[in-house]
Amino acid sequence: MELTRQDPDPSAYLAACEAVDHRHPLVARTASLLRERTGGRTDGEGGLVRYAEAAFDFVRDTIPHSFDSGDQRVAWRASDVLATRNGICYAKSHALAALLRHEGIPAALCYQKLNVVHGLIALKLPGRPWARQDPRGNRPGVDARFSLDGERLAFTPDPDAGEYDIPELYAAPPEPVLTALKRAVDRAQLERLLPERL
């Protein structure tokens, strides 16, 4: 599948927005800690790859998916996701995109149409094509991994069930996603509001 930018301006994938608030102090502190863990540098391809993988692992492994954990809180801003250590796929994607953009790595929000719309991200490293990554969080039957050489996503859409990959790369969450997150007072309500289409 060929990924296409929804916004033709490449700088849009480095910009802050309401959900991907990468200028927030907590995002900056978290990025700094991750940078220190990976050698303190994000210049050059090796440093960028190490940082991107560390950020992915951090979001995937230390922020439980609230549908798995049962957490009723609904976080949607990247900074809130980092503060509460809680979120669904959309929210976790906002957090990962913020951590990447903070370090100058272009990051897009992207989606799959499963039974509902599932959120993930794509990142762009120098000299490489956009690479989708799914920080949803692993559980039995789900084994997403950071990969630049072939996707290791949480889910593979089933065309026979009407599922498919959505090729657009979004700089900010599309309205159906953001509306569901903002309107939900708890995770149970969010589950009822999850969009089936973008």
100 exposure class (CB count in 10 Å sphere: 0-12, 13-18, 19+) = buried
Spatial distance between the Cα atoms of 7 and 171, rounded to a whole number of angstroms = 7
Which has more confidence, 1 or 156?
156
User: The dihedral of CA 42, 28, 26, 16: what is its sign?
Assistant: negative
- Please report how the helices 175-183 and 89-102 are oriented relative to each other, as an axis angle in degrees rounded to 10: 110
User: 3-state DSSP: the chain helix, strand, coil percent, rounded to 5?
Assistant: 40, 15, 45
Separation between Cα atoms, residue 177 and residue 159, nearest integer Å: 22
The Cα 171–Cα 43 span in angstroms is 23
Q: Position of tokens 């065309």? A: 159
Bridge partners (DSSP) listed for residue 4: 168
pLDDT in tens, 23-44: 999 999 999 999 998 886 666 6
Question: pLDDT at position 39, please?
Answer: 80
Backbone angles phi, psi at 132, to 5 degrees: -75, 140
Question: Backbone phi, then psi, for 98, in 5-degree steps?
Answer: -65, -45
The Cα–Cα gap between 113 and 197 comes to 7
For residue range 58-106, list pLDDT tens digits in order.
999 999 999 999 999 999 999 999 999 999 999 999 999 999 999 999 9
Token representation of residue 44: 């050059």
- 14-33 in b/e burial notation, b at 16+ Cβ within 10 A? bebbebbbbebeebeebbee
pTM, to two decimals: 0.96
- The CA distance from 170 to 150, in Å, is 21
| Mean pLDDT for all residues in the chain | 95
